[in-house]
Structure 1
Amino acid sequence: MTETTSEAHLQEIEELLADVDRPPATTLDILGEAKRERYWEDLLVYFLNPSNPHGFNADVLAAFLQALSEHEGTSLPPLRHELEQVEVQSQVPTGDGPFDIFLWSKDAWYVVIELKVAAAETGTQTRRYAQAPKLGELVVNQHEGASEYVYLAPRSAGSSTSEKFVDVSWEYLIPYLEEVLRTSYGQYPSKSHAQLADYLDTIKQTLNMDEFTTISEETKLYTDYADTINRLIEAYEDDRAKIFNHLQTVFLDELESPREGWVVNNSPKRYINFAKNDWGNVAGSVRIEYEPHVHLNRDHPEIRLRLDIENTGKQEIRKEFNEKLDEAERDALRNADWEFVDGSYAYLTKSVPLDVDQPVDSIHHAIQNLNELRAMVEPYIDEIVAKYQNSAD
């Protein structure tokens, strides 16, 4: 198949896709956060809390509790009275990590909710929460009312690790919340009605809950043009792998220290990173590494350089590292277009344009930038690592 044929097929696909009807994007879709667990939690807490200014009063909470009481795995009785007085809390401390949502009607009853979207349960979260003697301000062994522990997750997710938690799926819950909107008859503020509908649409689209009646037009297009699409994907992945492999070669070739002192993790479909042998498990579990990312976007192809300081305890290491830099060094980094992002993984980042016609030159330029960073920060990193190694000894 010639390049001209591929381009013609792509143009045909684009024209046909333009005619495919798609549901409007939800707000979280637009923000690229449709699977962000914290946002699902925040929105659910907002609608469940009767005191929030959404105009639903306790109706969403009542529907939620009805779903729980009618679930085959729960023992929660029907709860319909004095719901306006229910406390709705999020990120509630237990002394062994916070759980997501707490519904509490003082002496009458309480519900503990651990919520998941895409990620599985971390370790034995639910087991720890089930054994917690305190849930926020509530002392468990002094509570004589009803209680329920709920693990709210997609049907496809694994079960909770605690037998005390009842597995309730989003798919089971959503029809109860939709019923609030279906029977509203215009009694709720239109903005709140739209917000709740948007939230429920996000969940349904993310979990593919829409009724299955036919094969999508996109799938039909894929089957018609599978050879072209697969050929392009293979070429894309092959080029990414070549870039990652060349980044590794150039980095190692330009090392002034022995290669044996470095660990290279090269996963061509995702990332590559470089770290000294003793940069893992600093102060327990902190890992320090240089991690270039390759973005082959049509408009802005780039190699995104990163200094990662990640995992539990990272903030203390980042603080020590930042204190070692003087103001002149920070200014020098900023003037060289390094950005202090203080993200989940990355602490410093810089974008280097990737010339798709001369990729080798761009790779050498990227490693040159990385080596300039190394010259400034590596002595400080080594000092910090040595400090924690000595204290461990």
Structure 2
Amino acid sequence: MGPDQTLSEELDTVQHRWEQMTAVPESPRTLMSVIEYSLGTQRKAEVYVNRFLKYLLDPEEPHGMDSDLLRTFLNGLPAECGFQEDTYDLSDIVVDEQARVTQEEEDGTVVSSGIVDLLIEVPNEWFLMVELKFGAEDTQTQFYYRDVTHLGGDPQETYESGAYYVYLRPRDRPTANEPEFSNWTWEELCRDVLNPFILDNGSRLSQRTVAQLHEFTDDIANITGMTEHQENEREKIALFLDHYDAISDVTDTFDEAWDRFTGEWGARLGNALAEDGHGSVPNHDDEQVTRFILTRTGGDAEPWNFRSNSSDWGMIFKDGWWRHLDDLGGTIQSRPDDRNDVRIGFHHRLGRNRDLAIGERTLKVYFRNMGANDQRFIDTFSRTFDANEPQIAEALPGRATITGNKKDKIVVPYDIDAEDRDFFTAYIDALETAYVDLIGDNNDLVTEIDSIFCESLEAEYDYSDN
């Protein structure tokens, strides 16, 4: 029996044992439940969870995780949040709970103030506000987004890179009053962030920290009524450990192929489009950007760029959709050192939507008003886009959705047909279908977006291409 057969049989055993895990025994009571610290009063629950979550996320606290859990938390934020900051270096990060925010006039007079549950920030670069709820009604999110001018003592306008807002709530509770807050549930936080982090890192952390992480997720389950939905974690961990070599072998092989793919998809997409007669791929000296010259029927050659320098953001943008604010008449293909730029474009999320692509065989392609643009431009472009929604909707394929959000304006799903064929080839085929659908054979949509972009540039920066 060959090694491939042995691996296949071992994975069959894993599948069989996993399917047998249907009866979940009642879990022991958590410490918080025993002492009834928070279960009697929702406010006490919020204070407890807020302080504990701040402790676990703060790299300065002595839990021994440094910034690892914080990085996992930020990278696991809901897609609607649009978080796109670099999390590699978090040395300047500040994590604060019960942070004061204010609305102030130009002379410093405080008009009104509030307390945000969790504030994560890199001063002068970006911030993330998180409002935590269990049972109380939402009364603050509209104020946080629409009225706040200062975070602590810092003007909001000094945060040049991005502003992000998340409303964390039980799955059966109402969403945030302010639509610009991304809604996230405690169940999703535990399932997608905390539990995988414990599984991946538990063996290297101190026993006390691992116990605290387990205790925290159990307390959240008790507070929010998630207990009946929890997986039989101990049995699954045992299954993982019993078959660690087989699982690691297939996982590592795929992960290595995926990592290569994140840097290759642009070139592969350009070559696939060229082979199918949609245009050509000229020589280009930027390894991170593949140039593709789209050939439209009866039209001029149209340069497009496929930027594959990120493990997550796969950018597709036309020449002229990325400009430096000091030279709006020019076109650029990457962020300038001073980050003084404005851009729009299509994109697909390799890292954030990896599970969607692998598990559900679905590729999501977005059109985005980039979150790093200054807020005035974001608002103006979004408002102009919304005003032209009927024309945009007419140009879009039936599967597309106009979201109503300010940043990801359009989302379109495509099937990744990987049945009995190479997964990555199927991914490129889906991406090619999306490109032809939204760009190559859709001059009306591209022209409409061009017009909206130029109108927004003129409105905000007094610049016209004419």
When Rg is computed on C-alpha atoms for both structures, the one with the higher figure is: 1
**TM-score, normalised relative to structure 2:** 0.43
